[in-house]
Chains A and B, each alone.
Chain A
Amino acid sequence: MLPLPTLPANASAGPDTLITGELTFKRFNSKEPEALVIGANCTMDGVHFSLGEKGRVRIGDYCYFTNVVLLCEVELRFGNYVVVGWNATIADTDFHPLAPAERIADAIACSPAGKGRARPEIPKRPVVIEDDVWIGPNATILKGVHIGRGAFIEAGSLVTRDVMAHARMMGNPAQVVGEIR
């Protein structure tokens, strides 16, 4: 009953992986030869794969994502058995520069009048999420974050720094509130 999108030519998915949604690849702009590689037995329910020209996303086996927004300019790497809850956002970029003058230059380059103008350098760093991580609904994971195996990110958390394996995180910014074994 849900729309089944066609995979872009530079994307692949393993056996019994299900991808649903209407806007799944609407902003899939990666030119990398293997931009998106999804393993077997995954459920990608309404996931939004927004990839820049050099974006690469790797997803392991038995992952379950519900309406997740993936914003990728460099690399997002997920292990196996990763659960990401409804409406969570994971980004490997800051989208715009921090310095005010550079941000003006970026606003012009991004505008309809800025055709062909190069954008300034924007901070971006890969996000790595290891096996058995659970990320709750409405959570946000920012650039450069490495989440260790088995960590548990509570619903609505905003993660700005690396997370130790098996840590339970909560809050904005997310803090360690316990341990999950």
Chain B
Amino acid sequence: MNPDRTLPWDWYPGRIPENVLVDDSAYVETSFSFYLFRSQSPRGVELGRGASTYLGTMFDVGPHGRVKLGDYALVHGARIICDTEIVVGDYALISWNVVLMDTYRVPFNALDRRKELERVPTRQPRFAAADGTARPIHIGRNVWIGFDTCVLPGVTIGEGSVIGARSVVAEDVPPYTVVAGNPVRFVRSLTP
């Protein structure tokens, strides 16, 4: 990263926000990943040693959101929608088009949702900002998540587990387990 927080290799004319802590050995492909980033937290995003985020990864992080990518975690184009806390463990592999969402962003109640949607056009850039019902996501060390998978609010995935491609994870996954499907079901156990 350059001293002015631009990236030498970037195609997008942006900067890495001040409250994004990037280890010297970590890699961020583009500052466009922070286009929707608006966290006020002192540690809005943390990238550990050797962590990397590639094209298509989006940190859509609200004012109180905190995202932490552990050492050697690899995020290759995930949509990270965070209003409270998303932790990705060390050595985790997150594939393309994965959605990690700790919030539904808009209220469940249709009338409240209408009020929020009426505020969206007044914001620049536009975003939906509602509501305090976010529940943290914790993805354990050495977890592998296949492409197009959605991880829903409140989910914890245990160490060493594998989530098959195109899965939807609505409930916790124990450690060292392979799950797949929409919604996911147990496939097999893994030896630690």
A residues with a Cβ closer than 8 A to B are 1-2, 16, 18, 41, 43, 45, 62-64, 81, 83, 85-87, 132, 134, 136-138, 150, 152, 154-158, 170-172, 180-181
Contacts and interface: CB of A to CB of B under 8 A. Distances in A.
Given A62-B114, A81-B110, A138 B121 contact: no
Interface extent on B, as a size class? 20 to 34
Given A156-B182, A171-B168, A132 B110 contact: yes
A81 B113 contact: yes
B149 interface: yes
Interface string B92-136: 000001010100101011100110011011000110100000000
15 contacts: A2-B125, A16-B121, A41-B121, A83-B128, A87-B79, A134-B104, A134-B106, A138-B148, A155-B99, A156-B168, A157-B168, A171-B183, A172-B181, A180-B108, A181-B109
Q: Nearest 10 CB-CB pairs, A to B?
A: A172-B182, A155-B150, A156-B150, A156-B168, A132-B110, A62-B117, A137-B99, A41-B121, A43-B126, A16-B121
A26 B121 CA distance: 25
A132 B108 CA distance: 10
Contacts of B152: 154-155
B176 interface: no
Given A86-B99, A137-B79, A150-B110, A18 B168 contact: no
Given A155-B150, A156-B182, A170-B168, A132 B120 contact: no
Nearest to B149: A156
Contacts of B149: 156
B43 interface: no
Contacts of B126: 18, 43, 45, 64
A1 B109 CA distance: 33
B166 interface: yes
In this complex, which of B125, B167, B182 has the most chain A Cβ atoms within 10 angstroms of its Cβ? Answer: B182
A63 B128 CA distance: 11
A83 B113 contact: yes
A64 B114 CA distance: 11
Nearest to B111: A132
Nearest to A62: B117
A180 B112 CA distance: 13
A43 B129 CA distance: 14
A105 B17 CA distance: 55
Contacts of B167: 156
Contacts of B13: 1
Given A83-B106, A137-B150, A181-B109, A64 B168 contact: no
